[in-house]
Amino acid sequence: MDFGLTQPQELLRDSIARFLAQDVGIERVRRVMESESGRDEEIHGQLADQGITGLLIHEGLGGIGLGMQEAGIAAQEIGRAAAPVNFHSSYVLAPLLIAGADSGERRSDLLEGIAEGRALVTPILDAPIGNSRIDGSVLYVPDAAWADAFLLEDGGSLHLLDATTAGIEVEPLQTVDDTRRVAEVTFSGIDLGLAESLGGNVENTGRAVHAAQIALAADALGAAQKGLHIAVEYARERKQFDRIIGSFQAVKHICAEVLAEVDPVQSLLWHAADAWDGGSDEIDHLAPLLKAHATEVASNAVTMTTQVFGGMGFTHECDMHIFYKRAGYDRQMLGNPTALREEAAAVMYG
């Protein structure tokens, strides 16, 4: 089977890459990182104009109706640009959960709003729901400070709660990656009746989570590829002892070893995305394994390529640290490598 991109997919990749290079450059990323809020108010609308926010949403609801392969392409380019957006949460996990819901008066309006970049819905898995109350705290919730609504998942059941509901407290948290902010969300004894029930089921939740894991793996791969690219460019220009440092054997070995580790991840990513699109049962273990391997490889890759810059690579002024932190965020969200391998093993071997 050929896992190369089709011509339309190549055009999609090139279009997204061109948009990100022109409109979401590293200067813009740094402004978001250094801001107090960590929010880029315009980026969601711009992503919508490019069709990125509605890739997985049906055409009849304002989306494009493509699959996980195309979403993976977008996520990889977003990671390569270090774009300040939680693509895996806002535009993969949220729309897939909502689309698979059984009911809900606002279901269609929500999907249209997400596709158009007007609505930002933040999913919370394993929400603290019990005895018809929403009561408890959840850590590391993406985009919680400016979400329009929280999509609460509990045992496969989905509940939509407006972010303005009394009894919700959002406390920003400091993590390694300032391009994508997270927060602790506390629900103080909120009546579950205040949330709109959307129905849902465990099978759809699992499938949506696997898609988000694929998106995070793609983001990490993009970050690793970009890190290698800028390290190679630097090695071609930087001189030491009147020699280009790229001519030093130690630097050559670093770049070659990183390339040898990173390059095969691309095929694994395409395979997992194809399995998801085809509805294969293989995705139940393949998605966790992909994310575990891809994020582990990416973390090692950006650690190694940072060394090409010497001590400067760890400073704020050097762009390498942005991709180093990006990979660290992707590694931890929706399961770290150890937990994901245990999950995959349980699926494969019971």
For 311-344, the pLDDT digits (tens) are 888 888 899 999 999 999 999 999 999 999 999 9
What's the pLDDT score for residue 314? 80
| 189 plus 266 within the same structural domain | no
Residue 41 is part of a domain; what is its CATH number? 1.10.540.10
Name residue 157's beta-bridge partners.
154
Q: Is the pLDDT of residue 76 over 60?
A: yes
On whether residue 45 sits in a domain, the answer given is yes
On whether residue 1 sits in a domain, the answer given is no
Residue 256 is part of a domain; what is its CATH number? 1.20.140.10
Residue that finishes a domain, picked among 93, 115, 137: 115
| 110 plus 43 within the same structural domain | yes
What's the pLDDT score for residue 343? 95
On whether residue 241 sits in a domain, the answer given is yes
| 213 plus 299 within the same structural domain | yes
Q: What is the pLDDT of residues 152-179, one digit of tens each?
A: 999 999 999 999 999 999 999 999 999 9
| 206 plus 81 within the same structural domain | no
Residue that finishes a domain, picked among 115, 137, 162: 115
Q: Is the pLDDT of residue 1 over 60?
A: no
* Cα separation, 276 vs 77, whole angstroms: 20
| 190 plus 206 within the same structural domain | no
- Using a 10 angstrom Cβ sphere, with 0-12 exposed, 13-18 middle and 19 or more buried, the burial of residue 309 is buried
| 247 plus 299 within the same structural domain | yes
Q: Is the pLDDT of residue 269 over 70?
A: yes
Residue 180 domain boundaries: 121-199
- Using a 10 angstrom Cβ sphere, with 0-12 exposed, 13-18 middle and 19 or more buried, the burial of residue 196 is middle
On whether residue 224 sits in a domain, the answer given is yes
What's the pLDDT score for residue 181? 95
| 270 plus 340 within the same structural domain | yes
Q: Is the pLDDT of residue 145 over 70?
A: yes
| 240 plus 135 within the same structural domain | no
- Counted domains in the chain: 3
Q: How confident is the model at residue 243 (pLDDT cuts 50, 70, 90)?
A: confident
Residue 172 is part of a domain; what is its CATH number? 2.40.110.10
The predicted model scores a pTM of 0.95
On whether residue 2 sits in a domain, the answer given is no
With b meaning 16 or more CB within 10 Å and e meaning fewer, what string describes 53-65?
A: bbbbbeeebbbbe
Helix, strand, or coil (residue 118) = coil
Residue that finishes a domain, picked among 175, 199, 223: 199
Ranges assigned E (strand) in 40-156: 121-124, 129-130, 133-142, 149-154
- 280 DSSP assignment: -
| 235 plus 158 within the same structural domain | no
| 31 plus 167 within the same structural domain | no
On whether residue 297 sits in a domain, the answer given is yes
| Nearest residue to 326 via CA among 29, 71, 43 | 29
Q: What is the pLDDT of residues 182-218, one digit of tens each?
A: 999 999 999 999 999 999 899 999 999 999 999 999 9
| 195 plus 293 within the same structural domain | no
| 11 plus 87 within the same structural domain | yes
